Amino acid sequence: MVESVNPATGETVESYEDHTEEEALDALDAAVDTFEEWRETTFAHRQSLLENAADVLRERQDEYAELMTREMGKPIEQARAEIEKCAWVCEYYAETAESHLAEEQLSVGPTDSAVVRYEPLGPVLAVMPWNFPFWQVFRFAAPNLAAGNVGLLKHSSNSPGSGQAIEEVFREAGFPEGAFQNLFVGSEVASTLIADDRLRAVTLTGSVGAGQAVAEQAGANLKKTVLELGGSDPFVVLDDAPVEETAAKAAHARLQNGGQSCIAAKRFIVHTDVYDEFVDAFVEEMDSWTVGDPLEEETQVGPQADAELMEELHDQVQRTLDEGAEALLGGEPLDREGAYYPPTVLTNVPRDAAAACEETFGPVAAVFEVESEDEAAELANDSEFGLGASVWTGDPAGRGRAFAKRFEAGCCFVNEYVKSDPRVPFGGVKDSGYGRELSKAGIREFVNRKTLWVNHDLTEGSE
């Protein structure tokens, strides 16, 4: 059985029976059968069903938002926003899939023609995490269903109900039964699916270790993969940045979703000329966020997703403090029921300390003081991760854009915190993974880029 546990109360939300290996393979059978028909459907038909899915999400927004809040502790207002974003990505690909996948004409000479076609691959396995239990799945599912692929979902054990609900969304929207299927399976059964010749690709959002394991399995079976892994995003504050406004954005960048986001700002790198002013404003902003019951409307920071994750986060904080850092705010689990960790600000962080080198997946900010842009860029890139990065300045078009080019990351923002958006590619470099999701780049990841060449000059009997 898979149990969904409310991290705010410790109570069991629901229990779900695991699928057996035989049932998972039956689901793959159904996916293969459905694909043969689904791949031949028109873009107009797929567009209509994606628009239906957006309608279902909005009609049941409160229900789905409460489900994810109970499963992983997301504040209810943020949960509703996540459902709305899922509806948006469905509508985005309903509007753009056909143009993103249109044949491309190539110039190959006066007597020949060539085009590149973008054709679906088949069944794709998605291994998805708990922190954005609807959005992570929809940003995979919407483009792939629009492209003519079919999907199998292995969701996190923290959010099994969300996986089941997402399958229901697509069924209610009118997608055929085998187009998108949720599986309650563990890693062993997932490995069996990856090894099966009928599964054509795998995408994973998760830890570096999980990504390495899936990439190894998929590589051994010559399967295409897209990996979105961890992040330790730098938030660089230059000496001309508007401090008060930047500090407010910094708190949001760190605390959104309880700090449990791969693209949350985690390392705050601040020029010495504005360091003291920024730290004062940042601590005040972080302290102003309301921690509480995630089902209450005023709550901005809920519990961590489970007690074990909170303990891991606290261990990172303790090791960082032991290595010489100072906690200006927070630094201890809250004395209340549930897995609550408060907004925490660490300063004087040694550059080899845990909070500097590891991904802190919770509301903990490590602040560093630098004396130049060059030092800021060097520290920003001194990480095994390369998912997102942001720079803050009074000259965004000039100085900010020039600095952003120096980041070793996939998603680089100037005077804005890092976020995913259906209209732009999303993904990282280094240990943050490879491949891209969203936009035209995302829908083209799991397709056959087929070259079709025609010689128009060859006549029968010619030599």
Condensed to tens digits (0 to 9), the pLDDT of residues 384-406 reads 999 999 999 999 999 999 999 99
pLDDT tens sequence across 418-438: 999 999 999 999 999 999 999
Determine, yes or no, domain membership for 420: no
pLDDT of residue 287: 98
Q: Are residues 222 and 280 in the same domain?
A: no
Q: Are residues 253 and 277 in the same domain?
A: yes
Nearest in space to 236 (alpha carbons), one of 259, 280, 268: 268
Determine, yes or no, domain membership for 267: yes
Contacts of 250 (CB under 8 A, 6+ apart): 235, 237, 265, 268, 278, 282, 285, 365, 417
Give 49's pLDDT tier (boundaries 50, 70, 90): very high
Cα–Cα distance measured from residue 443 to residue 93, given in angstroms and rounded to the nearest whole number: 9
Contacts of 423 (CB under 8 A, 6+ apart): 92, 438, 439
Give 254's pLDDT tier (boundaries 50, 70, 90): very high
Contact of 255 with 345, CB cutoff 8 Å = no
Contacts of 186 (CB under 8 A, 6+ apart): 18
Contact of 240 with 393, CB cutoff 8 Å = yes
Identify the active-site residue in 86, 90, 262, 411.
262
Cα–Cα distance measured from residue 283 to residue 384, given in angstroms and rounded to the nearest whole number: 27
Residue 405, classified by CB atoms within 10 Å of its CB into exposed (0-12), middle (13-18) or buried (19+), is: exposed
Determine, yes or no, domain membership for 384: yes
Q: Are residues 266 and 188 in the same domain?
A: no
Determine, yes or no, domain membership for 425: no
Q: Are residues 448 and 383 in the same domain?
A: no
Cα–Cα distance measured from residue 150 to residue 140, given in angstroms and rounded to the nearest whole number: 11
Mean pLDDT of 295-301: 98
Cα–Cα distance measured from residue 7 to residue 70, given in angstroms and rounded to the nearest whole number: 8
Q: Are residues 388 and 409 in the same domain?
A: yes
Q: Are residues 48 and 176 in the same domain?
A: yes
pLDDT of residue 1: 87
Q: Are residues 274 and 225 in the same domain?
A: no
Contact of 354 with 365, CB cutoff 8 Å = no
Give 241's pLDDT tier (boundaries 50, 70, 90): very high
Mean pLDDT of 301-307: 97
Determine, yes or no, domain membership for 427: no
Determine, yes or no, domain membership for 170: yes
Cα–Cα distance measured from residue 346 to residue 328, given in angstroms and rounded to the nearest whole number: 6
Rounded to 5°, the CA angle 324-277-321 comes to 15
Give 459's pLDDT tier (boundaries 50, 70, 90): low
Nearest in space to 72 (alpha carbons), one of 153, 163, 151: 163
Q: Is position 262 annotated as part of the catalytic site?
A: yes
Identify the active-site residue in 71, 82, 167, 228.
228
Mean pLDDT of 297-321: 97
Q: Are residues 240 and 383 in the same domain?
A: yes
Q: Is the pLDDT of residue 462 over 80?
A: no
Which CATH number fits the domain that encloses residue 337? Answer: 3.40.309.10
How many domains are contained in the chain?
2
Contact of 128 with 210, CB cutoff 8 Å = no
Cα–Cα distance measured from residue 97 to residue 144, given in angstroms and rounded to the nearest whole number: 10
Cα–Cα distance measured from residue 104 to residue 21, given in angstroms and rounded to the nearest whole number: 41
Contacts of 22 (CB under 8 A, 6+ apart): none
The angle, 0 to 180 degrees and rounded to 10, between the axes of the packed helices 135-147 and 76-100 is 20
Contact of 436 with 427, CB cutoff 8 Å = yes
Q: What percent of the chain has pLDDT over 90?
A: 98
Q: Are residues 78 and 52 in the same domain?
A: yes
The range of the structural domain enclosing residue 214 comes to 2-229+432-452
Which CATH number fits the domain that encloses residue 7? Answer: 3.40.605.10
Determine, yes or no, domain membership for 312: yes
pLDDT of residue 460: 56
Mean pLDDT of 136-164: 97
Q: Are residues 64 and 204 in the same domain?
A: yes
Cα–Cα distance measured from residue 361 to residue 262, given in angstroms and rounded to the nearest whole number: 8
Determine, yes or no, domain membership for 458: no
Q: Is position 228 annotated as part of the catalytic site?
A: yes
pLDDT tens sequence across 65-111: 999 999 999 999 999 999 999 999 999 999 999 999 999 999 999 99
Q: What percent of the chain has pLDDT over 70?
A: 99
Mean pLDDT of 191-208: 98
Mean pLDDT estimate for the chain? 97
Q: Are residues 251 and 136 in the same domain?
A: no
Q: Is the pLDDT of residue 350 over 70?
A: yes
Cα–Cα distance measured from residue 362 to residue 378, given in angstroms and rounded to the nearest whole number: 25
Q: Are residues 214 and 253 in the same domain?
A: no
